[in-house]
C-alpha cells in the first residue's frame, strides 16, 4: 500500500519521539512491502519560531493531502508567557478543528510487567483495559474567551449533533469490546452535561439498546478510575474531562509516556499523537519514552490505513520489549537501569522482525 503521512515533530521531546515513530513505520513498510512517504512540517513553538504561526499554512495543506498525521508534542517555557497572544497549543487545537477529528481514542492498558512502575497497588491493576473516548473539537476548549484586568470567561458549548456522533463512536467501540459503556459528565452542575446526559440516553436507547451503559459524575469517575479501574470498558466524555481523566489513567499504565491516541473524524484520515506533552525538562537528552508515539503509529496503521496485522505486530513488539525488561527512565522504577529513547526504539524494531 502507498500512503502519505505528515509528520509534525513539534517541540521539546516531540522531535525525538516522532522520529522513533517514523523509524518503526519505515521498518513496517520494508517488512510488508508498503510505500510510506513522509512529509515533515512545523507545528507549535517550532511554527511560531519559523513563521510566527503555530499551525502554518503549509502544515495545514500537507495534513489535508495526507492519509494520516503523526504528531510529537508542542509547547515549552520559551512560548509560555501568559500574556502571549500566540501559543504553541493553538497549533494542535487549530489542527484538530480544521481536520474535524472529533473522536479522540485513548486506550489505557496495564502490562503486568509494568505494575512496578505504577504508583497504584498492583492488585488494582490486574486486567485493566480501558478505552477512553474523548470528545475533541467542542466544549470549553473551543468556546469564546474573554479577559480583562480582573475577570475572565471561557464559554462551554455543546450541540446535540456533537454529542450524538461521539456517543455513536464510543458505543460502537463498546460493542466490539466487552459491551460496557460509561458516560462521564457533571450533570448535577453543568447545563452542557445535562444536554450530554439527555442525548446519550436517547441515542443509546434508540441505536444501542443492548449495551450495558451508565452515567457517572466526573468526580466519582476520577475516584473509581483508581479504586476499581478494571471495571471500566469504554469511557466516553467531553473534551476537558477527557483531558484530565486520561492523564490520571496513565498512572495505571505506569507512565504518561506509554499512552497513545488516535483522533478521528468522518473520514479515515486521522491525527495520531502520544498523550504526553513536550517535557522540556528532559528534551534532547534521550530520556523520553517513545512507546506512546510508537503505539500511536500502530493506531495510525489500524485506523487510517486499515493495516490491522501490522498494527498488532507493533503492539506485540512493544509488549515483548517491555517483557524483556527494556526500560526508559520513566518506567525504570528503583532499578536505576534504563536505556535511551533510541535504544528503546531499536529494541522494538528488532522485535518486529
Question: Would you please indicate which residues are annotated as catalytic (active-site) residues?
Answer: 141, 186, 219, 243, 247
Q: Which does 242 bind (CB under 5 to 8 A by kind): Mg ion, ligand IPM, none?
A: none
Of 52-60, 100-108, 237-245, 252-260, which segment contacts Mg ion by CB under 5 A?
A: 237-245
Of 30-38, 171-179, 187-195, 236-244, which segment contacts Mg ion by CB under 5 A?
A: 236-244
In the 8-state DSSP scheme, what is residue 267? S
Q: Where are the alpha helices (DSSP H) in 132-238?
A: 160-176, 191-207, 218-227
CA–CA separation, 135 vs 263, rounded Å?
9
Structure-block grid coordinates of residue 200: 446519550
Binding site for ligand IPM (CB under 6 A): 75, 89, 92, 243, 275, 277
Q: Which does 92 bind (CB under 5 to 8 A by kind): ligand IPM, Mg ion, none?
A: ligand IPM
* Least CB distance to ligand IPM at residue 158 (A): 16
Number of residues that bind Mg ion (CB under 5 A): 1
* Least CB distance to ligand IPM at residue 239 (A): 7
* Least CB distance to ligand IPM at residue 275 (A): 5
CA–CA separation, 171 vs 185, rounded Å?
16
Q: Which does 5 bind (CB under 5 to 8 A by kind): Mg ion, ligand IPM, none?
A: none
Within 10 Å of residue 95's Cβ, how many Cβ atoms? Answer: 25
**Cβ distance to ligand IPM smaller for residue 105 or 352:** 105
Q: Does residue 243 touch Mg ion according to CB under 5 A?
A: yes
Q: 3-class SS at 180?
A: strand
Structure-block grid coordinates of residue 172: 460502537
How many angstroms from the chain centroid is the CA of residue 28? 21
CA max distance for the chain: 60
CA–CA separation, 170 vs 133, rounded Å?
6
**Cβ distance to ligand IPM smaller for residue 80 or 227:** 80
Residue among 242, 169, 238 nearest 208 (CA)? 169
Of 20-28, 243-251, 317-325, 345-353, which segment contacts Mg ion by CB under 5 A?
A: 243-251
* Least CB distance to ligand IPM at residue 49 (A): 17
**Cβ distance to ligand IPM smaller for residue 11 or 185:** 11
Question: What torsion, rounded to 10 degrees, do the Cα atoms 89, 91, 97, 103 define?
Answer: -60
Residue nearest ligand IPM, CB atom distance: 89
Structure-block grid coordinates of residue 301: 496503521
Q: Which does 89 bind (CB under 5 to 8 A by kind): Mg ion, ligand IPM, none?
A: ligand IPM
Instruction: State phi, psi for 21 to the nearest 5 degrees.
Output: -60, -40
Of 15-23, 84-92, 242-250, 261-269, which segment contacts Mg ion by CB under 5 A?
A: 242-250
Radius of gyration over alpha carbons of the chain, in Å? 20
**Cβ distance to ligand IPM smaller for residue 49 or 342:** 49
* Least CB distance to Mg ion at residue 243 (A): 4
**Cβ distance to ligand IPM smaller for residue 113 or 243:** 243
Please report the beta strands in 34-159, taking only residues with DSSP state E, as ranges in sequence order: 35-40, 68-73, 103-109, 129-135, 145-147, 152-154
What does the binding site for Mg ion look like in residue numbers (CB under 5 A)? Answer: 243
Amino acid at each position: 500500500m502507498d500512503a502519505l503521512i505528515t509528520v509534525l515533530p513539534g517541540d521539546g521531546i516531540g522531535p525525538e519521539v516522532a522520529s522513533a515513530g517514523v523509524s518503526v513505520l519505515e521498518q513496517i513498510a520494508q517488512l510488508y512491502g508498503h510505500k510510506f512517504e513522509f512529509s515533515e512540517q512545523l507545528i507549535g513553538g517550532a511554527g511560531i519560531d519559523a513563521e510566527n504561526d503555530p499551525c502554518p499554512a503549509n502544515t495545514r495543506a500537507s495534513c489535508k493531502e495526507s492519509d494520516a498525521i503523526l504528531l510529537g508534542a508542542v509547547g515549552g517555557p520559551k512560548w509560555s508567557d501568559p500574556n502571549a497572544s500566540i501559543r504553541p497549543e493553538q497549533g494542535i487545537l487549530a489542527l484538530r478543528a480544521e481536520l474535524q477529528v472529533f473522536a479522540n481514542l485513548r486506550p489505557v492498558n496495564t502490562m503486568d510487567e509494568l505494575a512496578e512502575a505504577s504508583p497504584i497497588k498492583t492488585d488494582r491493576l490486574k486486567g485493566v483495559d480501558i478505552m477512553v473516548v474523548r470528545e475533541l473539537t467542542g466544549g470549553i476548549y473551543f468556546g469564546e474567551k474573554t479577559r480583562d484586568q480582573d475577570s475572565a470567561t471561557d464559554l462551554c458549548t455543546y450541540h446535540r449533533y456533537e454529542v450524538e456522533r461521539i456517543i455513536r463512536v464510543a458505543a460502537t467501540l463498546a460493542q466490539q469490546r466487552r459491551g460496557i459503556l460509561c458516560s462521564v459528565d457533571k450533570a448535577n452542575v453543568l447545563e452542557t452535561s445535562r444536554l450530554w446526559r439527555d442525548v446519550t440516553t436517547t441515542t443509546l436507547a434508540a441505536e444501542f439498546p443492548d449495551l450495558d451503559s451508565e452515567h457517572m459524575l466526573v468526580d466519582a469517575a476520577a475516584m473509581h478510575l483508581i479504586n476499581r479501574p478494571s471495571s471500566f470498558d469504554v469511557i466516553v466524555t467531553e473534551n476537558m474531562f477527557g483531558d484530565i481523566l486520561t492523564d490520571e489513567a496513565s498512572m495505571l499504565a505506569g507512565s504518561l509516556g506509554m499512552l497513545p491516541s488516535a483522533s478521528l473524524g468522518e473520514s479515515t484520515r486521522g491525527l495520531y499523537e502520544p498523550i504526553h506533552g513536550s517535557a522540556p525538562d528532559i528534551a534532547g537528552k534521550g530520556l523520553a519514552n517513545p512507546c506512546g508515539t510508537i503505539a500511536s503509529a500502530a493506531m495510525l496503521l489500524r485506523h487510517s490505513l486499515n493495516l490491522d496485522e501490522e498494527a498488532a505486530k507493533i503492539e506485540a513488539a512493544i509488549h515483548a520489549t517491555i517483557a524483556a525488561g527494556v526500560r526508559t527512565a520513566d518506567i525504570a522504577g528503583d532499578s536505576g537501569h534504563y536505556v535511551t529513547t533510541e535504544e528503546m526504539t531499536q529494541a522494538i524494531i528488532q522485535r518486529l522482525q
